[in-house]
């Protein structure tokens, strides 16, 4: 569905500087996959998505979407894509139902078809009760569901979602994840960006970790965790600033230790055993926790930084 090699995007700013947003990335996404770009602010996720969505020309490299070149066949590609941009761009003057209808009309479908499609998508997005409400009256989660519904009017084969759930509360996120999961079950290829590791773990078959415009790792969530982290992590919490005193002792217990402002993270295959050893060595945290490694630990290992700032 997507093939990219050496894909590059640079911006020339007014000040005469060049911003290298995407620095030569390679990727291939097969049909039916749920593929993710995980990375912090400024990693180049949106710049990549906009090139794939054929709304931003590439600076360099190869890019083919559905076997076509966005530079010459952008219209034909966009006909078969659904795009959910990072910022909702719904028509606030129109009702919820009209937003879907008007958008569907752009694709040249008949009026009857467009009203029927609007109603079908309202049902899918659980917005039927809000059909005649103005967009301004919707919650953030509802607006996001409407934007996703709108991206589906042309029954896309490939759905691009730029941070589908950023800024939403946990419940709203779960409703969205459920809808996206259904689309995946129906065979739609999903490509999404996120800086939430739990979202990436929930939705993505495979993902790339992006940082500073480059891909720093690629694999399934489980593969990435196995490759770049240990099975378990012991979190020792301290009054901020006092964690450094325990650092020399803790570092002798494990191969890898991360020092965060209020915590030490001890990477280990057996968390309970390591925690016991920490207590035996005289370390006295205010709280402790044994948990599984996550993509956050992978990101920390790869970049030395946290995903969410």
Ligand X SMILES: Nc1ncnc2c1ncn2[C@@H]1O[C@H](COP(=O)(O)OP(=O)(O)OP(=O)(O)O)[C@@H](O)[C@H]1O
Binding footprint of ligand X on the chain (CB under 6 A): 11, 13, 19, 21, 39, 41-47, 86, 195
The entry of Mg ion, ligand X, none that residue 21 binds, CB within 5 to 8 Å by partner kind: ligand X
CB of 283 to ligand X, least distance (A): 36
Q: Tell me whether residue 45 or residue 145 sits nearer to Mg ion (CB atom).
A: 45
CB of 249 vs Mg ion, minimal distance in Å: 41
CA distance 298 to 303: 9
Give least dist CB 11 to ligand X, A.
3
Query: Judging by beta carbons within 10 Å of its beta carbon (0-12, 13-18, 19+), is residue 166 exposed, middle or buried?
Result: middle
**According to CB under 5 A, which residues from 83 to 112 bind Mg ion?**
86
Least CB distance from residue 165 to ligand X, whole Å?
13
- Our CB check for Mg ion shows the closer of 156 and 164 to be 164
Tell me the site size for Mg ion, rule CB under 5 A.
3
Q: CB-wise, 11 or 106, nearer to ligand X?
A: 11
| Strand 81-84 to 158-162 pairing | parallel
Residue reference for tokens 């968390």: 271
Q: How far is the CB of 5 from ligand X (least distance, A)?
A: 19
129: left (phi over 0), alpha (psi -120 to 50) or beta: alpha
10, 20 contact by CB (below 8 A) = yes
For tokens 């590609």, name the residue.
Answer: 77
**Closest to ligand X by CB, 51 or 264:** 51
List the one residue out of 67, 45, 59 whose CA is nearest residue 7. Answer: 59
166/158 Cα distance (integer angstroms): 21
Geometric angle at alpha carbon 69, from 68 and 75, rounded to 5°: 80
* Partner in contact with 41, chosen from Mg ion, ligand X, none, beta carbon below 5 to 8 Å by kind: ligand X
Distance CA 201, CA 131 (A): 33
Residue 36 partner contact from Mg ion, ligand X, none using kind-dependent CB cut-offs of 5 to 8 Å: none
Which of residues 45 and 206 has its CB atom nearest to Mg ion in the complex? 45
Residue 171 interface partner, choices Mg ion, ligand X, none, CB cut-off 5-8 Å depending on type: none
Q: Is 46 in the site for Mg ion (CB under 5 A)?
A: yes
> Can you give the binding site for Mg ion, defined by CB under 5 A?
45-46, 86
């Amino acid at each position: 569905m997507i093939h990219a090699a050496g894909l590059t995007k640079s911006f020339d700013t007014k000040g005469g500087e060049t911003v290298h947003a995407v620095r030569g990335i390679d990727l291939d996404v097969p049909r039916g996959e749920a593929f993710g770009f995980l990375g912090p602010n400024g990693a180049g996720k949106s710049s990549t998505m906009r090139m794939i969505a054929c709304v931003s020309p590439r600076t360099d490299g190869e890019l083919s979407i559905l076997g076509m070149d966005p530079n010459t066949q952008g219209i034909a590609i966009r006909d078969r894509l659904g795009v959910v941009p990072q910022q909702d761009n719904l028509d606030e003057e129109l009702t919820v139902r009209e937003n879907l209808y008007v958008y569907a009309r752009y694709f040249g479908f008949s009026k009857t078809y467009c009203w029927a499609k609007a109603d079908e998508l309202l049902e899918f997005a659980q917005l039927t009760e809000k059909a005649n409400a103005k967009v301004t009256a919707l919650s953030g989660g509802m607006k996001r569901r409407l934007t996703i519904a709108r991206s589906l009017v042309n029954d896309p084969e490939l759905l691009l979602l730029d941070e589908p759930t950023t800024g939403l509360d946990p419940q709203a996120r779960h409703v969205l994840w459920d809808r996206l999961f259904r689309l995946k079950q129906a065979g739609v290829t999903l490509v999404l960006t996120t800086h939430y590791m739990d979202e990436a773990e929930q939705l993505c078959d495979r993902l790339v970790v992006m940082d500073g415009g480059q891909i720093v790792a690629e694999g399934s969530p489980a593969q990435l965790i196995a490759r770049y982290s240990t099975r378990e992590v012991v979190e020792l919490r301290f009054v901020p600033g006092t964690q450094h005193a325990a650092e020399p002792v803790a570092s002798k217990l494990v191969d890898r230790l991360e020092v965060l402002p209020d915590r030490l993270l001890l990477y280990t295959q057996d968390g309970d055993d390591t925690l016991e050893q920490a207590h035996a060595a005289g370390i006295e945290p205010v709280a402790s926790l044994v948990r599984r490694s996550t993509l956050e630990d992978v990101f920390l290992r790869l970049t030395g930084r946290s995903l969410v700032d």
